[in-house]
Amino acid sequence: MARVAVLHNTLDGRGGADAVCLHVCEALQGVHDVTLITLSRSSLADLNALFDTDADVQVHRPLGTELVCRGFDALPDRYGPQLAARSVLLRRLFATHAADFDAAVSTANEFDLPVPSLQYVHFPQFNRRHTAVGETPRLDPLWSRLADVGDRTLPDDARLLANSAWTADTVEAIYGQRPDVLSPPVDPAPNPRPWTDREAGVVVLGRLAPDKRPLRAIDIVDGVRARGHDLHLHLVGSSSTIYADYVRRVTAAAADRPYVHLDRDAPRERVTELLATHRYGLNCKPEEHFGMAVAEYVAAGMVAFAPDAGGQREVLAGRSDRLFDSTPDAVATVAAAVADDARPTLPRDRYASDRFHAAIRGRVAALLRAETDRGG
């Protein structure tokens, strides 16, 4: 049994990357002595309930975490969650404890770590200016240099995984190393209703945050209804103090429309119920790195729609009748599927969590064996 640190900058955003972190902890906890090191105020109990996981590991929150998190959360929505800055701080704090561990697993992208590591990249957090996709944060050169990866070189004993081939391409473009692809865990919803018994409604699952575009989802459903289709919309999202102002805007927009229902911080049972009883799932974030919500729609037996960019294209097998490139195109695409009574065709069990857990355990075991062979 090895001593393994799982590093995650913050779990307070309550998004897909955070679900991956909880699943990694769950996968390793019965095999190794696992400690989750994070700058996060969220409790494991709350996160397990949100993500339907059973992580039960030691949690180390460095001294001053509460104050640091409050400082980051006080930034206006337009500055975003500052994940790169949090990661720089987390790395420095971990360095003082690194000797206590045999290996580390990052579930918050790439790091320069002083111990052998497995690094799961949702999208590169540093050196973003060296890729043509995604936005480049203004302080990217500074954070990259402070993270000691300004030369675009990662440690020789770091093994990389990516959530999609699209993300792997981006990592390779920046660092010259191509990660293996391991899709995040998404289990099929239990006991989904037959198609004919499902409600003619759209579910939008994800954080209530600007990058997820829930206001765009409202515009799309408005447009489909204007074409004569009586759809309703469920916005099912975790809310965070990081995006308090934006959440108020979404709440106001939903309140103005009787056919838009807002399920804030819904328990997993409610999420599962909505996925299993509605026909359509919609994602609006462009260049989604993987698309956990899109994969959940597919696993629930829904017809899913998403922007024609990023890793979600892989989830939807590149189907032009499920992908869109603008709000008007999305309206036309969804309306056509409703009018044609389009049915789901993609396999529901593609991303089952037992596959993900086994792969993580195997990769960590291989990492530890390689270190033993090197005489570490």
Residue 136 has a pLDDT of 85
Q: Please tell me whether residues 173 and 113 are part of one structural domain.
A: yes
Q: Per the domain annotation, does 69 fall within a domain?
A: yes
Q: Please tell me whether residues 228 and 296 are part of one structural domain.
A: yes
In Å, what is the CA distance from 183 to each residue of 191, 236, 346? 23, 23, 16
Q: Per the domain annotation, does 190 fall within a domain?
A: no
Q: Please tell me whether residues 216 and 365 are part of one structural domain.
A: no
Residue 61 has a pLDDT of 87
Q: Per the domain annotation, does 344 fall within a domain?
A: no
Q: Per the domain annotation, does 346 fall within a domain?
A: no
Residue 303 structure tokens: 């017809």
Q: Please tell me whether residues 76 and 158 are part of one structural domain.
A: yes
Residue 75 has a pLDDT of 62
pTM of the predicted model as reported, rounded to 2 decimal places? 0.87
Q: Please tell me whether residues 13 and 115 are part of one structural domain.
A: yes
Amino acid found at 241: T
Q: Which residue has the tokens 């697993």?
A: 105
Q: Please tell me whether residues 169 and 221 are part of one structural domain.
A: no
Residue 35 structure tokens: 């400690």
Closest to 223 (Cα-Cα) out of 321, 309, 329: 329
Tens-digit pLDDT string for the chain (376 aa): 899 999 999 998 888 899 999 999 999 999 999 999 999 888 999 999 888 899 999 999 887 777 776 777 666 455 566 889 999 999 999 999 999 999 999 999 999 999 999 999 999 999 999 998 878 888 999 999 999 999 999 999 999 999 999 999 999 999 999 999 999 999 998 889 999 999 999 999 988 889 899 999 999 999 999 999 999 999 998 777 777 888 999 999 999 999 999 998 888 889 999 999 999 999 999 889 999 999 999 999 999 999 999 999 999 999 999 999 999 999 999 999 999 999 999 999 999 999 999 999 999 999 999 888 776 5
Q: Per the domain annotation, does 48 fall within a domain?
A: yes
Q: Per the domain annotation, does 348 fall within a domain?
A: no
Q: Per the domain annotation, does 233 fall within a domain?
A: yes
Q: Please tell me whether residues 26 and 81 are part of one structural domain.
A: yes
Cα separation, 209 vs 205, in Å, equals: 11
Closest to 282 (Cα-Cα) out of 302, 264, 254, 260: 302
Cα separation, 207 vs 127, in Å, equals: 25
Q: Please tell me whether residues 66 and 25 are part of one structural domain.
A: yes
In Å, what is the CA distance from 301 to each residue of 1, 181, 188, 280, 315? 40, 24, 8, 9, 13
Domain span at residue 317 reads 195-339
Q: What is the DSSP letter of 163?
A: S
Residue 80 has a pLDDT of 62
Rg (CA), the chain: 21
Order of all β-strands in the sheet with 103-106:
58-60, 33-38, 3-8, 103-106, 117-121, 158-162, 180-181
Total of domains in the chain: 2
Cα separation, 24 vs 300, in Å, equals: 23
Q: Please tell me whether residues 108 and 165 are part of one structural domain.
A: yes
Q: Please tell me whether residues 271 and 362 are part of one structural domain.
A: no
Residue 25 has a pLDDT of 98
Q: Please tell me whether residues 18 and 140 are part of one structural domain.
A: yes
CATH, residue 166: 3.40.50.2000
Contact predicate 16/184, CB 8 Å: yes
Residue 12 has a pLDDT of 85
Residue 333 structure tokens: 């695409």
Q: Per the domain annotation, does 168 fall within a domain?
A: yes
Residue 77 has a pLDDT of 56
Closest to 177 (Cα-Cα) out of 192, 195, 198, 162: 162
Cα separation, 143 vs 147, in Å, equals: 6
Q: Please tell me whether residues 241 and 171 are part of one structural domain.
A: no
